[in-house]
């Protein structure tokens, strides 16, 4: 699917969440995310993500995750196969920031995870590999 230019003014929803990287990070980091739509009722077409750690690698990673997901959405890729391929904890919860962001988006815009018209929809999740050496 070819990317279409987005209108200069568009609908946007902003929300905050805290992501902790485990017991060594008990407080976590506060992130601000934004979802953009080309028009009211249209699917999500862009994602923004920033954190409260200015000028840090965490901020760079957050913005890069949002750019990659936005490009995927603008080319008609539903977020479900991306979410399925990301690393998860044994509990099934997302292990990383990208997975946590997708969980937050799904709570607000579940349509972003559905196949779009013209998408074959046959995306299979990546296999779970317990041992990296076994996968080679």
Fold of 11-135: Enolase-like; domain 1 (3.30.390)
Helix 57-74 vs helix 97-108: angle between axes, to the nearest 10 degrees? 50
φ and ψ at residue 62, rounded to 5 degrees: -60, -50
Write out pLDDT tens, residues 65-119. Answer: 999 999 998 888 889 999 999 999 988 889 999 999 999 999 988 888 887 665 5
| Higher local confidence (pLDDT), 135 or 41 | 41
Write out pLDDT tens, residues 122-133. Answer: 444 433 434 444
Could you give the maximum distance between any two Cα atoms of the chain, in Å? 50
Contacts of 123 (CB under 8 A, 6+ apart): 78, 80, 81, 84, 115
The pLDDT > 70 percentage for the chain reads: 81
Give the predicted TM-score (pTM) of the model: 0.77
Does the structure show a pLDDT above 80 at 6?
no
| Higher local confidence (pLDDT), 125 or 5 | 5
Q: Where are the domains of the chain?
A: 11-135
| Higher local confidence (pLDDT), 91 or 32 | 32
Predicted local distance difference test score (pLDDT) of residue 3: 66
Q: In what order do the strands lie in the sheet with 29-37?
A: 11-19, 29-37, 44-51
Does the structure show a pLDDT above 90 at 4?
no
DSSP string, 69-108: HHHHHHTT--SHHHHHHS-B-TTSSB-SHHHHHHHHHHHH
- pLDDT band for 22, please (50, 70, 90 cuts): confident
- pLDDT band for 19, please (50, 70, 90 cuts): very high
Contact between 86 and 102 under an 8 Å Cβ cutoff? The reply is yes
CA 94 to the chain's CA centroid: 11
């Amino acid at each position: 699917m070819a990317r279409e230019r987005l209108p200069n003014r568009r609908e946007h929803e902003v929300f905050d969440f805290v992501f902790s990287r485990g017991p060594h990070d008990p407080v976590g980091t506060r992130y601000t995310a934004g979802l953009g739509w080309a028009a009211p009722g249209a699917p999500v077409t862009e994602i923004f993500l920033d954190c409260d750690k200015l000028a840090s690698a965490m901020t760079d990673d957050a913005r890069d995750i949002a750019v990659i997901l936005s490009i995927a959405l603008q080319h008609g890729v539903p977020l479900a196969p991306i979410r399925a391929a990301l690393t998860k904890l044994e509990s099934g919860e997302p292990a990383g920031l990208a997975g946590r962001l997708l969980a937050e988006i799904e709570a607000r815009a579940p349509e972003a995870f559905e196949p779009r018209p013209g998408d074959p929809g046959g995306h299979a999740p990546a296999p779970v590999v317990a041992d990296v050496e076994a996968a080679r």
